[in-house]
Amino acid sequence: MAQKPMGMHPEDIKAALRKMFGSLAAFSVMIGRDSRAVSKTIATPGYSVPIEREIAKALKVAVKVIWPDRYHSDGTPVSFVVPRIPTALRGSAHRQNEVAA
């Protein structure tokens, strides 16, 4: 069975940022984001790639070292968006005899 790539633990990321900036909210505001943006980014894969890059830059570590499961080996982010498959019938399928009601 393949093992999940290990990166930094979320609490280690938070601790490092708190040591440098005092709080996650202070770091969020410093980079011009909402006060909860950094904590949401750490907790939620795919929440904000630009904030992940800001965190990596502040910690002086590559983004894929911090979150190897969120990035491909070439450094591009993994898409966490689920493709939408339409489930509704097309207009002509609603009519039995192809005549409008």
Report domain extents, the chain: 10-66
Burial 81-96 (b: 16+ CB within 10 A, else e): eeeeeeeeeeeeeeee
pLDDT in tens, 53-95: 999 999 999 999 999 989 888 888 888 877 777 776 666 655 5
The three-state secondary structure class of 77 is strand
How many whole angstroms separate alpha carbon 92 and alpha carbon 101?
Answer: 12
Place of tokens 């904000």: 48
Q: How much is the pTM? A: 0.75
- Chain centroid to Cα 53, Å, comes to 11
Domain at 10-66, CATH class: mainly alpha
The pLDDT value recorded for residue 42 is 94
